[in-house]
Amino acid sequence: MEHDLARTALLVVDVQVGLDDPVWGRRNNPDCEANVASLIAAWRAAGRPVVFVRHDSVLPESPLRPGQPGNDFKPALSGKPDLLVTKQVNSAFFGEPDLDAWLREHDLTGVAVVGIQTNFCCETTARMAGNLGYDTIFVLDATYTFDMAAYGGGVITADEIARVTATNLQDEFADVVMTADLI
């Protein structure tokens, strides 16, 4: 699929210190942060907009609540974004300021979604972007997730969850690619 990257914002979703907390369990894709940093550098070198999205949890036990060290961005996120969106739900489109309005105001027709968690905030943001008519790119190897307890028992591995997310998104909501496809 052909994308107009000049009109595509890089959405860096929830790459926050608190997601290193052991409470989340075993993660996949140890190269995620390096891939995110490479994409940020490539986007900036090309003069394309970079949006950082931060989850400001309202749950008192969450490592992602404001004022806690876990709310901070990981070191892979360098420099100042063109836009900072804060949110309390899965989708970056339900944050502040209004992401959809900002993208349209800047005549951006596409988004490339990277960050954490593959199957929650990244997938939800990609689904909404697709539904809103954006040319949506989901950079699978610039996301990660965690093993999860399965409905009905057992565990679903993070790698399998990522594969299912990619399958859910491809062709219906987004074009699933790898970092190397965009750099």
Q: Where are the beta strands (DSSP E) in 25-151?
A: 50-55, 83-87, 110-116, 135-144, 148-149
The strand pair at 155-156 and 148-149 is best described as: antiparallel
State the Cα–Cα distance between residues 54 and 30, nearest whole angstrom. Answer: 20
Looking at residue 137, what is its pLDDT? Answer: 98
Examine the pLDDT at 1 and tell me if it is beyond 80.
no
Looking at residue 84, what is its pLDDT? Answer: 98
Task: Categorize the per-residue pLDDT at 57 as very low, low, confident or very high, splitting at 50, 70 and 90.
Answer: very high
For the segment 125-135, what is each residue's pLDDT rounded down to a tens digit?
A: 999 999 999 99
**Closest C-alpha among 174, 179, 180 to residue 136:** 174
Contact between 181 and 138 under an 8 Å Cβ cutoff? The reply is no
Helix axes 123-131, 158-169, angle to 10 degrees: 0
In this prediction, residues 26-34 reach a mean pLDDT of 98
Looking at residue 89, what is its pLDDT? Answer: 97
Provide the mean pLDDT of the chain.
Answer: 97
User: Which sequence spans correspond to the domains of the chain?
Assistant: 5-182
**Residue 176 neighbours by CB distance under 10 Å:** 21
Examine the pLDDT at 148 and tell me if it is beyond 80.
yes
Q: Which two tokens stand for residue 166?
A: 């990619």
Contact between 33 and 99 under an 8 Å Cβ cutoff? The reply is no
In this prediction, residues 4-31 reach a mean pLDDT of 96
In this prediction, residues 147-168 reach a mean pLDDT of 98
Sign of CA dihedral 141, 119, 19, 151: negative
Examine the pLDDT at 60 and tell me if it is beyond 80.
yes
Read out DSSP for 6-47?
Answer: GGEEEEEE--BGGGGSGGG--B--TTHHHHHHHHHHHHHHTT
Task: Categorize the per-residue pLDDT at 172 as very low, low, confident or very high, splitting at 50, 70 and 90.
Answer: very high
Q: Is 76 helix (H, G, I), strand (E, B) or coil?
A: coil
State the Cα–Cα distance between residues 165 and 122, nearest whole angstrom. Answer: 10
In this prediction, residues 32-61 reach a mean pLDDT of 97
pTM: predicted TM-score of the whole model, two decimal places: 0.97
List the CATH code of the domain at 5-182: 3.40.50.850
Examine the pLDDT at 155 and tell me if it is beyond 80.
yes
High-pLDDT (> 90) share of the chain, %: 98
In this prediction, residues 76-87 reach a mean pLDDT of 96
Examine the pLDDT at 30 and tell me if it is beyond 90.
yes
Task: Categorize the per-residue pLDDT at 2 as very low, low, confident or very high, splitting at 50, 70 and 90.
Answer: confident
